[in-house]
Amino acid sequence: MHLQWVVHPRAAAPVEEEGADMKETIISVNHLVKIYKMGDLEVHALRGIKLDIYKSDFVAIMGKSGSGKSTFMNIAGCLDVPTKGDYMLDGVDVGKLNKDQLAHLRNKKIGFVFQSFNLLSRTSALENVELPLMYNSKITSKEMKERSINALEEVGLASRSHHFPSQLSGGEQQRVAIARALVNNPVVILADEPTGNLDTRTSVEVMSIFQKLNTQGITVIIVTHEPDIAAYTNRNVTFRDGRIQKDLTVEKPRNAAAELLTMPVLSEEDTI
């Protein structure tokens, strides 16, 4: 098997550290293959992926464009289905689900954060955060509001809940997006290049929020091609040509919150 050389340090580690008390697997993919058909041409985006992600993992998926990392994220996020292979998300066999069931799963178990924020314009921050709960018929509007305000508090934006996206800075918009990903208590937050459109300081701010959420036990997976950003996570998985090239534990992750304190706040005077 061509995947046998891949190092899985984390797969074995918990057994050694915690004995029989094994970590709960949130995402488990096996022999995952995705082939796009473009006319007669077949594009092999994923060529057999085996990956387990555990509860409270903070994973960075890395790789060049075309390595298959986005395809993996789409499948992991239940936006797409694999051509072959198994995908278990929190005990649910995703491969067997239809479109509506996938939508339901996205609503219940997944929170998305995008590179370009993807907030609804002319809709307040609070209402943007409420959006996933709108599609959950079991939640009352009172509960919806409470949970959304809590989520905004979590990202430190409770005071700006009635601002529109156009009135918020890029970092603030991304924090609203994180609150939106958070509001339905997902088992995993998937972030696709969450710092791609942000400057350094704001990127660190966003990473500090992810780190904070991760310490609370939330599983976070981010896609990034910046090693600096990946250094804030606990585990780096590198994709190459549709296969996993490396899967390494980060021995000493950087602490975003601590770095933020030492970082100078750039003002207009610093512009040369």
Partner 1 sequence: MKLRNQLKAALRSLGKNKMRTFLTMLGIIIGVASVIAMLAIGQGSKESIQKQIANLGTNLLTVFPSASMTGGVRMEAGSSVKLTMDDYKAVSSRCPAVLYSTPTVRTSGQLIAGGQNWRTTVWGVYPDYFNIRNLDIDKGAAFTLNDDRTATKVCVIGQTVNKYLFGEGQDPTGKIIRINKIPFQVIGLIATKGQNAWGQDQDDIVIAPFNTVQVRMMTVAYIQSIMLSATSEKMIPEATDEVTQVLKERHRLGPSEDPDFSIRSQADISSAATATSSILTALLASIASISLLVGGIGIMNIMLVSVTERTREIGIRMGVGARGRDVLLQFLIEALMISLIGGLLGVGLGIVASGVIASIMSWPVTITIQSIVLSFMFSTVIGIFFGWYPARKAASLNPIDALRYE
- The C-alpha atoms of residue 141 and residue 138 are separated, in whole angstroms, by 10
Q: Considering the rule CB under 8 A, would residue 134 count as an interface residue with partner 1?
A: yes
Q: Considering the rule CB under 8 A, would residue 163 count as an interface residue with partner 1?
A: no
Instruction: Report yes or no: 32 and 50 within 8 Å, Cβ to Cβ.
Output: yes
Q: Which is nearer to partner 1, 141 or 216 (CB)?
A: 141
Q: Which of 36, 96, 135, 143 binds partner 1 (CB under 8 A)?
A: 135
Strands 84-89 and 92-93: antiparallel
Minimum Å distance from CB 148 to partner 1?
13
Q: Considering the rule CB under 8 A, would residue 118 count as an interface residue with partner 1?
A: yes
Residues in the chain: 272
Q: Considering the rule CB under 8 A, would residue 107 count as an interface residue with partner 1?
A: yes
- The C-alpha atoms of residue 218 and residue 189 are separated, in whole angstroms, by 8
Minimum Å distance from CB 3 to partner 1?
26
Q: Which of 132, 165, 171, 253 binds partner 1 (CB under 8 A)?
A: 132
- The C-alpha atoms of residue 244 and residue 221 are separated, in whole angstroms, by 15
Minimum Å distance from CB 224 to partner 1?
18
Q: Considering the rule CB under 8 A, would residue 201 count as an interface residue with partner 1?
A: no
Minimum Å distance from CB 127 to partner 1?
9
Exposure letters 98-120 (e unless 16+ CB within 10 A, then b): eeeebebbbbbbbbbbbbebebe
Tokens 């710092």 correspond to what residue? 195
End-to-end CA distance of the chain: 56
Counting residues that bind partner 1 (by CB under 8 A) gives 27
Q: Which of 56, 114, 197, 248 binds partner 1 (CB under 8 A)?
A: 114
For residue 27, the cross-strand partners are 53, 89
Q: Considering the rule CB under 8 A, would residue 185 count as an interface residue with partner 1?
A: no
Q: Considering the rule CB under 8 A, would residue 99 count as an interface residue with partner 1?
A: yes
User: Which of 120, 127, 117, 116 shows the shortest CA–CA distance to 151?
Assistant: 127
Binding site for partner 1 (CB under 8 A): 74, 77, 79-80, 99-100, 103-104, 106-108, 112, 114, 118-120, 122-123, 131-132, 134-137, 141, 180, 184
